């Protein structure tokens, strides 16, 4: 079986963009891959966080992983900070990555924009991400489109290391959805749906109440026409809603366009809200069940133990190849 690895940050509100762009794919892959899914809490520290909130969000994300349908019998789930090899390898890879490469990372530029000061961690974040992936000899990395550049950097770092020191890393391939790789904000459909958005109308959170979800969809920005047609360039709002509808109901966009021909945005949005609420309610039910029954800590503990074995093997090899003297 090929190995798949990906991670999500335990920050903000887990939203439909995270779910449709990446997490739903995790569930689809778990039967055919040896799958490792991480809660990347060290990445969350690149901006100041309230410690108690970070702890709660970490547990919440673990519950989400289980609630969306990841099966701990098939999939390994763990927190990044519980395997110290992530930080250790990140340092070693910082000594392989180039400053010029990090300067080109668009996410760093976007997140740092307008701030008086940013942490060094935000700058080196893509190297930690490379370490996360390379530590497990990952073959496939399912991510949203916003992570494509970081994946390319990961591949470059791995290739440079292998050429300079000898074969240590598998070169990973990104797996990006053809549809839904970039779910857009409901209130501003030219920008991506984002956890750190100022307005809650930007996103639909996976724990939101049906009433709120309904309201957000009915209010979602569309255009002055009333034609349900997929045309991301000229009709970004309705195209985004069509994407969401298609992925949530597993119905092709063309079928939806036909179904809503002549019916207008009102009828379309009403049905979309129903589809989204139905699917999210299932996730919420499972979330509450795991929360009530307990066991999430055991899943994380066992996950960390399992992946530590792979991580240690990689670290031994990397240290040897780099010439770190071992006694």
Q: How far is the CB of 244 from ligand AQP (least distance, A)?
A: 10
Interacting residue with ligand AQP among 133, 183, 204, 228 (CB under 6 A): 183
Size of the site for ligand AQP (CB under 6 A): 18
| Catalytic residue (one of 195, 215, 259, 319) | 195
Q: How far is the CB of 62 from ligand AQP (least distance, A)?
A: 14
Segment interacting with ligand AQP, rule: CB under 6 A, options 50-58, 91-99, 192-200, 213-221: 192-200
Nearer to ligand AQP, 13 or 314 (CB): 13
Give 174's contacts (C-beta < 8 A, 6+ positions apart): 141, 142, 143, 147, 148, 151
Burial of 257 (0-12, 13-18, 19+ CB in 10 A): middle
Nearer to ligand AQP, 125 or 260 (CB): 125
235 among known catalytic residues: no
Query: With the C-alpha atoms ordered 299, 302, 305, 310, is the resulting torsion angle positive or negative?
Result: negative
Q: What is the 3-state secondary structure (H, E, C) of 94-144?
A: HCCCCHHHHHCCHHHHHHHCCCCCCCHHHHHHHHHHHHHHHHCCCCEEECC
148 among known catalytic residues: no
The answer to whether residue 3 forms part of the interface with ligand AQP (CB under 6 A) is no
| Catalytic residue (one of 24, 57, 109, 111) | 111
Contact pattern from residue 74 through residue 113 relative to ligand AQP, giving x for each residue in contact according to CB under 6 A and a dash for the rest: ----------------------------------------
The CB density around residue 118, as the number of other CB atoms within 10 Å, is 14
Query: Is residue 91 within 8 Å of 127, Cβ to Cβ?
Result: no
Interacting residue with ligand AQP among 57, 150, 192, 216 (CB under 6 A): 192
Phi then psi for residue 142, to 5 deg, are -80, 120
The answer to whether residue 39 forms part of the interface with ligand AQP (CB under 6 A) is no
Q: How far is the CB of 261 from ligand AQP (least distance, A)?
A: 27
Segment interacting with ligand AQP, rule: CB under 6 A, options 191-199, 205-213, 237-245, 246-254: 191-199
Query: From CA 32, how far away is CA 246, in angstroms rounded?
Result: 23
Token pair of 179, please? 């549809």
Q: How far is the CB of 266 from ligand AQP (least distance, A)?
A: 25
Contact pattern from residue 116 through residue 155 relative to ligand AQP, giving x for each residue in contact according to CB under 6 A and a dash for the rest: ---------------------------xx-xx--------
Q: Segment 6-25, which members bind ligand AQP (CB under 6 A)?
A: 8-9, 17-18, 21-22
| Catalytic residue (one of 24, 192, 216, 269) | 192
Q: What is the 3-state secondary structure (H, E, C) of 26-47?
A: HHHHCCCCEEEEEECHHHHCCC
The candidate with the shortest Cα–Cα distance to 67, out of 27, 40, 38, is: 27
115 among known catalytic residues: no
Segment interacting with ligand AQP, rule: CB under 6 A, options 194-202, 232-240, 287-295, 311-319: 194-202
**CA torsion, ordered 184, 283, 176, 191, to nearest 10 deg:** 10
CA triple 256-205-108, angle to 5 deg: 100
Query: From CA 170, how far away is CA 5, in angstroms rounded?
Result: 12
Which run of H or of E encompasses 156?
A: helix 148-165
Query: Is residue 188 within 8 Å of 221, Cβ to Cβ?
Result: yes
Nearer to ligand AQP, 28 or 312 (CB): 28
Interface residues toward ligand AQP, by CB under 6 A: 8-9, 17-18, 21-22, 143-144, 146-147, 181-183, 192-196
Q: Give catalytic residues, as residue numbers.
A: 111, 192, 195
């Amino acid at each position: 079986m090929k190995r798949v690895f990906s991670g999500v940050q335990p920050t903000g509100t887990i939203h439909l963009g995270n779910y449709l762009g990446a997490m739903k794919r995790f569930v689809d892959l778990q039967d055919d891959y040896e799958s490792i899914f991480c809660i990347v809490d060290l990445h969350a520290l690149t901006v100041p966080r309230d410690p108690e909130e970070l702890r709660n969000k970490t547990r919440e994300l673990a519950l989400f992983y289980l609630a969306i349908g990841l099966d701990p019998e098939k999939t390994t789930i763990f927190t990044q900070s519980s395997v110290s090899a992530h930080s250790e390898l990140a340092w070693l890879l910082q000594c392989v990555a180039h400053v010029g490469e990090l300067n080109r990372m668009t996410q760093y530029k976007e997140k740092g924009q307008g701030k008086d000061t940013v942490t060094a961690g935000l700058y080196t974040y893509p190297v930690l991400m490379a370490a996360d992936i390379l530590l497990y000899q990952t073959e496939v990395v399912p991510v949203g489109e916003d992570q494509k550049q970081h994946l390319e950097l990961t591949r470059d770092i791995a290739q440079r290391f292998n050429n300079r020191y000898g074969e240590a890393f598998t070169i990973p391939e990104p797996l990006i959805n053809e549809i839904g790789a970039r779910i857009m904000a409901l209130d501003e459909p030219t920008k991506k749906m984002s956890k750190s958005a100022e307005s809650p109308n930007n996103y639909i959170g996976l724990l939101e109440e049906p009433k709120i979800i309904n309201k957000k969809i009915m209010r979602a920005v569309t255009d002055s026409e009333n034609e349900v047609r997929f045309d991301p360039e000229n009709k970004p709002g309705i195209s985004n809603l069509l994407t969401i509808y298609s992925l949530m109901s597993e119905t092709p966009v063309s079928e939806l366009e036909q179904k809503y021909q002549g019916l207008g945005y009102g009828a379309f949005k009403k049905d979309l809200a129903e589809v989204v609420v139905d699917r999210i309610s299932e996730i919420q039910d499972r979330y509450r069940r795991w929360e009530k029954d307990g066991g999430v800590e055991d899943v994380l503990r066992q996950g960390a133990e399992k992946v530590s074995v792979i991580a240690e093997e990689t670290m031994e090899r990397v240290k040897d190849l780099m010439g770190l003297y071992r006694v």
